[in-house]
Amino acid sequence: MGHTKEQLLSLLQEHEIEFSQHEHPVVLTVEAQAKYVGHMNGALTKNLFLKDKKQRFYIVSALAETKVDLKVLSQRLGLGKGGLRMAPEEALTEIIQVPLGCVTPFSLVNESARNVSLLLDQRLKTQEYYFFHPLSNDMSIALNLHDLDKFLNSIGKLPAYVDLEADPTVGKDQPPDLAGLVPSGATVLPDPPENKASSQGHEKIPVSVNSKPTVVTAVKSFDAPERRNHVLLRIRR
């Protein structure tokens, strides 16, 4: 089970990381968050949870106004065009263990997220303070660059600040400039649990049709009492 908001706040205090906390209703977007903390001294951030084709995961944390082109970023990481896409919702709960709308660098505090790569917007360095959700989107906490780096170092993550709006040429003589930020290993999501209470039972029966090996899936249908013993044969060759 992942860290709770309370555990994270206690951890920050334990490491003497300074922050201010601001409670508000649950928000799912930067625009909604701005209604409650946008008037305060601090920059709003957007946080993207991404994956590549090899099941490697990334968090991109940027100022709200920074333009992040996933095609360009994919090429800069050496993944080719279209190499990055939004991670599926199940990865939120299995990998970084936070609800929808709660992705931030703080998500990396969970052990299950140890292989997730973090790309920080270089423009964060221009701000005195910025806001992130502390694993829960009913609160925002503000901290400065020094304390963000201090938190990342405390969990063994080396901060990597990137110009996310840059579009350098990538080619034979110009290798991807961000290739070093690609995670070294893939993360495998567990298979979803089987629903033993399913209304259908499946049984594979080996048979032979025209002397060719065939697998038949027998599906017992329980849609209506009068069809309880009916068996449908689906033949795959």
Q: Are strands 231-236 and 117-121 parallel, antiparallel or unpaired?
A: unpaired
Contacts of 169 (CB under 8 A, 6+ apart): none
- Alpha-carbon distance of 7 to 14, in angstroms, equals 10
Contacts of 56 (CB under 8 A, 6+ apart): 115, 117, 182, 183, 185, 186, 187
> At residue 3, does pLDDT exceed 90?
yes
The terminus-to-terminus CA distance of the chain in angstroms comes to 44
The stretch 180-184 carries a mean pLDDT of 93
> At residue 77, does pLDDT exceed 80?
yes
How many Å is the Cα radius of gyration of the chain? 24
Q: What are phi and psi of 67, to 5 degrees?
A: -90, 125
Task: Report H helices in the chain.
Answer: 5-14, 30-37, 70-76, 89-91, 145-154
Q: What are phi and psi of 3, to 5 degrees?
A: -65, 150
Domain ranges of the chain: 5-181, 201-236
Other beta carbons within 10 angstroms of residue 140's beta carbon come to 25
Q: What does CATH list as the number for 5-181?
A: 3.90.960.10
The stretch 105-131 carries a mean pLDDT of 96
The encoded tokens of residue 128 equal 């005195």
Residue 55, pLDDT score: 93
Concatenated DSSP letters for 45-87?
EEEEEEE-TTS-EEEEEEETT----HHHHHHHTTS-TT--EEP
pLDDT in tens, 17-72: 999 999 999 999 999 999 999 999 899 999 999 999 999 999 999 999 999 999 99
pTM > 0.75: yes or no: yes
> At residue 222, does pLDDT exceed 70?
no
